[in-house]
Amino acid sequence: MKFRPMRFDLYLGRAVFGTVLLTWAVLVGLDVVMAFSGEFKDVGKGNYTLGHAAAWVLYTVPRRAYTFFPTAAVIGSLMGLGQMAATSELTALRALGLSRKRLSVSVAIALSLLTAVMVLSGETLGPWGQSRADAIRASAKYGSNATESKYFGVWAREGDTFLNAMGGDEQLLPGGGTRLVLRDVRMYQIGEDGRIASFTRAGTAEHDASGWKLTDITRDTFGERSVSRETKPVEPWNSQLDASALASGLSKPRNLTAADLRTSIEYRKRNGLDARDYEDIYWSRWFYPLNVLALCLAAVPFAFGSLRSGGMGKRLFLGILFALGFWLLQLFFGRMAGALKFDYRIAYALPPIVMLVTSGLLFRRKSG
C-alpha cells in the first residue's frame, strides 16, 4: 500500500471536504440560532439588548464550531463517500487496484487537515471569543463592576473598594442553592485623597444565602505616617456586590486553553483542591484529534457496502447513529472515571480504541 499523495487523494479529499463543511455549517448554524433565541429571556436585564445577545453569540461561534466538528466530520464523511459509492466512483477506484485501506488513508489525510485547524482554533480563537462574549454579557447585565482577566483573575468594584480574586468557582449546596467561592482575594480601599487607605488579603471570599464571608484575613491599614496590621480567621463582609456578576466573570474549565488548564490543575493539586473537572477537559483536548479520526475511520467501511444502495436519509441516519454512539460511549467512560476516580487518560483512550477495533473488524469482514 503506497502512501504517496496521488490525484485520487485530491479527488476524495475534495468530495469529503465539501460534505463535511456543508454539514458543519448546518449544525453550527442551528446551534447559533437556538443560542440566540435562548438569549431573548435575558434581554432587558440591566442594559442587555438584542445587539449584546447577537454579539455574545457571534463571539462564541469558534467554540461551537470546535464542539460540533467531530459530529460534522463523521456525518459529512459518510454522506460524501456514500454519494461516491452510489455513483460507483468508489467501485471504479477499486478497479484501479486501490484497496479500501488506501482509500481510507485518503479520507484520514483530508480530515486531518481540518482537525489540525480545529485544534489550533480550540486553543486560540475559541477561548478568546468565549472570554469576550462573557465579558460583553456580564458588562451589559450587571454594569461595569465585574470583568475577567486571563492573567489577573476577576476584578470588581463596589464604591471605593476594588476586589481582585485569582480564581474561584460556583458550588452546588446539598440542600439546594449555590455558593460562590473566590480564592486568593485582594481588596483595596481607596481614601478620599485617592491613596490606598487599607489593603486586605483573604484566603477565600464566600457568598451564599447568608451573605459574604472572608476567611484567613490579613488587613493593613495605612495612616498618615504609620501602618497597622490585623489578622482574623474569619469575618463577615457587609457588601452588596452581586455574586452572579462575579460568577459570570469566572472562566469555566471548558473555556480555558490547555496551558491554562494545566496551570489550574497544578494550582489545585498544590493546595489540596479537587482538580478532576479540569483534568477531564484537559485530557479531552489531547484526545480530540484521535477521537475525530477514530470515529470517521470506524464509519468508512459502511461506504463500501451498505451505503451503495440507499438514499441521503440512510447516510444521514448512520452518521448520526455513529456520532451519538461515540458520544454516549465517551460520556459513559468519562462519568466512570469521575465516579471511580481512575485516570482520565484511560477513559478518553478507550472510546477511540473501541471504534478502531470496530473499524478493523469491519474491514476484515469486507476485506479486499
pLDDT tens digits, 299-317 = 777 766 555 555 556 666 7
Residue 186: pLDDT over 50? yes
**Residue holding cell 462519568?**
335
Per residue in 188-224, pLDDT (tens digit) is 999 888 889 999 999 988 888 888 999 999 999 998 8
Q: State percent of the chain over pLDDT 70.
A: 82
Q: For the chain, what is the mean pLDDT? A: 80
Per residue in 220-275, pLDDT (tens digit) is 999 888 899 999 999 998 887 767 666 655 667 777 788 878 877 886 677 666 77
Q: How far is CA 182 from CA 166, 186, 250, in A?
A: 8, 10, 9
- 266, 249 contact by CB (below 8 A): no
Q: Which cell is 14 given?
A: 475534495
CA 291 to chain centre: 15
CA dihedral 247, 253, 258, 263 (to 10 degrees): 70
Does the CA dihedral 14-15-16-22 come out positive or negative?
Answer: positive
Q: Going by C-beta distance under 8 Å and a sequence separation of 6 or more, which residues neighbour residue 41?
A: none
pLDDT on residue 149: 46
pLDDT on residue 259: 83
Residue 2: pLDDT over 60? no
pLDDT on residue 251: 64
| H or E element in which residue 40 lies | none
- 329, 358 contact by CB (below 8 A): no
pLDDT on residue 245: 62
Q: Going by C-beta distance under 8 Å and a sequence separation of 6 or more, which residues neighbour residue 265?
A: 275, 278, 279, 282
pLDDT on residue 100: 73
Q: At CA 116, angle to CA 21 and CA 132, rounded to 5?
A: 80
Which of the residue ranges 50-54, 156-160, 212-216, 310-314 would you say has the lowest mean pLDDT? 310-314
Residue 151: pLDDT over 50? no
pLDDT-derived band at 146, boundaries 50, 70, 90: very low
Q: Which cell is 268 given?
A: 489545585
- 127, 256 contact by CB (below 8 A): yes
